[in-house]
Amino acid sequence: MGEHAEWSIGVQQVAWDAVRLAVLASGSGTILSSMIEQDLPIEVVVVDRQCRAEEVAGEAGVAVVRLTRASFGASFDRPSYTKSLVGVLKERGIGLVAMAGFGTVLSGELFEEYPGRVMNTHPALLPEFKGWHAVQAALDAGVEMTGCTVHIATTEVDDGPILAQEAVPVLEGDTVESLHERIKEVERRLYPATLKAVLEAGGDPGSLVGQPRSTKRPAPWESGGESELIR
């Protein structure tokens, strides 16, 4: 699986490029870039607006579909937009979907068409600090530890089964920006490794739920020792 992660999946491994992977992105493309660096077999990147992620995909020779939102206000037709996105995925035979900073909340049709096969990350140790302001919430709560969660996405935000978590300490003097950046460093390593494990398990994220796994690379803010996955 690579030098940074060991995974005990408990199922027969298959050719990991046999499952077509789509990535949904909206922003700078840093998570997408980390996936590309790990040679994940990305079939297509779908974006909902003009963004740097388009350029990241293009530079790597990955197909890009820009499915622009007609509105960012109250008139936005979420079901119609989701139906169009699902159409793009089905046309390309997509079997696994990875959200990577995608800025549009999608309606239930995506999760009906891809039950248990949509993945996402969250900058906290779920079920703690759900929602858009998880890093601020961790600071406000005064916790000593937060982290990153990779999970199966469902219609309920930040509520799907947990696939992997890694702790990130809250340091004295941390701001939302400094803490979030350290969480992102973990995310850019943990998310691709989890996706790779899912692909090698045949593209079914559920096969990883409850499975033991560990990472052996010390976090960059640590002087030594092991960085531990919580679950």
Residue with structure tokens 């089964």? 161
Handedness of CA 120, 123, 124, 125 (dihedral sign): positive
Pairing of strands 213-215, 5-7: antiparallel
* DSSP of 18-69: SS-EEEEE-S--HHHHHHHHTT--EEEEEESSS-HHHHHHHHTT-EEEE---
pLDDT score of 11: 37
Q: Could you report the per-residue pLDDT of 80-109, keeping only the tens digit for each? A: 999 999 999 999 999 999 999 999 999 999
Residue with structure tokens 């579909």? 65
DSSP secondary structure letter of residue 191: H
**Residue stretches of the chain with pLDDT short of 50:** 1-14, 16, 212, 214-231
The count of other CB atoms within 10 Å of the CB of residue 94 is 21
pLDDT score of 58: 95
pLDDT score of 17: 58
pLDDT score of 231: 39
Map out the domains of the chain as residue ranges. 18-115, 120-150+162-231
| Encoded tokens for 102 | 């995608």
- How many residues are recorded in the chain? 231
Query: Which residues are marked as active site?
Result: 122
> Would you say 25 and 100 are in contact if contact means Cβ atoms under 8 Å apart?
yes
Q: What is the CATH number of domain 120-150+162-231?
A: 3.40.50.170
Q: Which CATH architecture has domain 18-115?
A: 3-Layer(aba) Sandwich (3.40)
pLDDT score of 207: 87
Q: DSSP alpha helices (H): ranges in 92-175?
A: 108-113, 134-141
Phi, psi (rounded to 5 degrees) for 133: -115, 45
pLDDT score of 217: 39
